[in-house]
Structures are given as C-alpha cells and as structure tokens.
Amino acid sequence: MSGRAGAGKKTAVLAGAVLLCALAGEIGIRLFAPFPDYTAGSIRSFPDRYHPLYGYKGIPNLDKTFTLPDFSHRILNNRRGFRDRDRPYERGAKRRIAVVGDSTAWGWGVEAGERFSDIMERRLEGWEVVNLAQAGYSTDQELLLLEGEGLAYHPEIVLLLFDRNDVAEGNNARAIDGMQPKPWYEERDGALEVRGVPVPFDPAYWDLKASLAETYGGPAPRGGWRRFWRAALAHSHLFNWISFRVEHPLWGRAREGDGHAGEALLEKRFLLTGKLLARMNRLCSKRGARLVIADVPSEYSPVLERFCHGNKIPYLDLRPVLAGRLRPVEHRRVGHWNRYGHRLVAAAAVDFLKKNGLLEAG
C-alpha cells in the first residue's frame, strides 16, 4: 500500500513539475517572443470549391464575411473565382501587373482594398494590378494557374509573392495539410511533368467543406473535454512555437546563415521549387511578361535570393522592409500581414519596380 502511495506521490510531483514548466514556458513565450497561430487544419473550412486542374479554387461570385479571432473581413470574388473585381482578359489602355501567390497575397486578414496589390494599383498611374492569388496555393498550382488563366490577362509584369510554405508543405506534396487534393510535378528525363490531374473528386470531402463554410478550423470536437483541450492548444503560444520548431528545425540557423549542413539541406529541398520557378520564368518571357519575385522572409530567403540572381529574375527582398518594426506587421495569431504590413510591402514593391526600370515601356 505504501509502495503504491509513494509511486502516486512521485507521479503527482512529476506532473506538477511538468505543468509548472509548461506554464513558465507559456508566460516566457508570450512576454518575449509571441508566436502566431500555427495549428493545422485552417484551410479545411475555407470557402473554395473543387477544380479538376488546380485541385481547388475560389468560388465564383462569392460574397460573405470571413471571421477569425483577430479579424473579420469580406470575401467578394469575381465571376472567375478571384478576389478581385471583374476584368476582361483583353487589356485596355492601362498596362497590367498580375499578382500570384497564396493566402498572404490573397489578403488573409484584411479587406481587399487594404492589400498591397490594391494599394499598388492606386499608386501606379496607368497600371492595373490584377490579383490572381488563391489561399493555400503552392508554386506548382501557381504555375498551372498562369498557364491556364493568368497570362490570358496579358500582363507585362507577373509579381509572384513567394512564401516558404511552397517549399516546406506544397510543391513536394500531393495534398495540402494532408487532406486537400492537389496536382504536383515530377521530373522525368530532365523534364517536368504534371501529375495527379484531373484531381480526384471526393463527394464526401467536398460536402463536408460545404457544411463547414461558415466555420474556421474544421468541425468542433465532440465532448466538452476535447473541445476545451483543442481550444487551449489553439491559444497556446508555447504549443504553436514547439509545433513550428519540430516541423522546421532549421528555421533559425538557416535564416541567419549558420552552418553549411543546414543550407545544404535547404538547397536540396528547394530543387523542385527552383525548377518550377525557372519554368515559370520561361513561360512569362515567352508570353511577353517579366517575372518578378517578392520574397516573404523565411529560412529559404538566402536560397531564393541566390536562385533569382543566378537566373536574372528581379528579386524583391522584403526582409529589410518587415524586420525590426516597433509596430506589428502581422496579425497576432494567424501569421499574415495586417493593414500596416500590406502598406509597407506596397510601398516597397512600387519603389522596387520604379528603381529597376520595370515600369518603363517595353
């Protein structure tokens, strides 16, 4: 009996120590290094619909309010499913820039008029800036989108907002977050070939998505305890920090350039992405457009910068634009730019295009 009591006491002490350490870690992270929400599954309930080539795309003519703990904004899509006003493929008197990217370029967390693309259009006289971004897309889907629709708008400049998720989660995957089907590319005999198209259609999956269109993060867990546990983890900065570090162990080292082994691994992971970007560059050039890459700062930034310089692709480095600001440039939990962040990026993009002569008549 005493043995059992002693074991129980040790277990209680150990559990208490773990809980105390977790509490101290949570407080420390919140005070000194607040970490945005990094829990998976958010795309599950995002309002999009099946597409046989891209896997999924924005819903045409959608008009709804999208609400999360940090923000609430309107989603107003045009007839082609882009979060942009309706524009004909034929170009009028104004010249055009086409913006492609994922949820950051799409404007996750801000109204459409507050995005960097819309601000750029207001600042660039004689230019239209067409936003073709789709939440959750990777470089492979962006390449397919440009081939299928994007270049039909006859842009003179294609501005790609590059995000680390393209490498870490997208271009080497056959599904986003392991659940949403998508196409992918494979290299065969030195040539890139698209695979997984037409993308399989799962009626049960898309019925579930439709039922969750008014929610965020998927179905609520059953039972009070599971609901409480999930909510607690979703709000824990420590849990989000650990989740990110486990999945991306080279983040800090590679970003600061520490260690050749880390950079070598990042270069290896970037190989397919580099081939996709090179193909995108050739495609744009063939269609009379100039590809420009704006880099969302990440551990892949040095790798992407070297790639762009080696392939003579204009590279907009956003690290000095966004780093070291006293005022936050991102929403606290969702890790996407707020209105201030978008204004900074818009100003940097306009300045970059002007200084590099990219707005001059071709």
User: Which residues is 66 bridged to in the sheet?
Assistant: 73
Q: Are strands 315-317 and 71-76 parallel, antiparallel or unpaired?
A: unpaired
Q: What is the mean pLDDT of residues 323-348?
A: 89
Contact 105, 131 (CB under 8 A): yes
Q: What is the CA radius of gyration of the chain?
A: 22
SS3 state of residue 169: helix
132 pLDDT above the threshold of 80: yes
Residue 124 pLDDT: 98
254 pLDDT above the threshold of 70: no
Residue 168 pLDDT: 67
Q: Using alpha carbons, select from 296, 350, 293, 300 the residue that is nearest to residue 316.
A: 293
pLDDT level of residue 86 (50, 70, 90 thresholds): very high
- The CA–CA distances, whole Å, from 124 to 127, 284, 347, 350 equal 6, 21, 11, 8
Residue 186 pLDDT: 93
Residue 234 pLDDT: 55
344 pLDDT above the threshold of 80: yes
Residue 220 pLDDT: 39
Q: What is the mean pLDDT of residues 180-193?
A: 90
**DSSP for residue 221:** P
pLDDT level of residue 41 (50, 70, 90 thresholds): very low
Contact 77, 62 (CB under 8 A): yes
Of residues 140 and 168, more confidence is placed in: 140
Residue 330: alpha-carbon gap to chain centroid: 13
Q: What is the mean pLDDT of residues 27-47?
A: 58
273 pLDDT above the threshold of 80: yes
Contact 130, 97 (CB under 8 A): yes
Give tens-digit pLDDT for 115-124: 999 999 999 9
Contact 304, 162 (CB under 8 A): yes
Contact 295, 349 (CB under 8 A): no
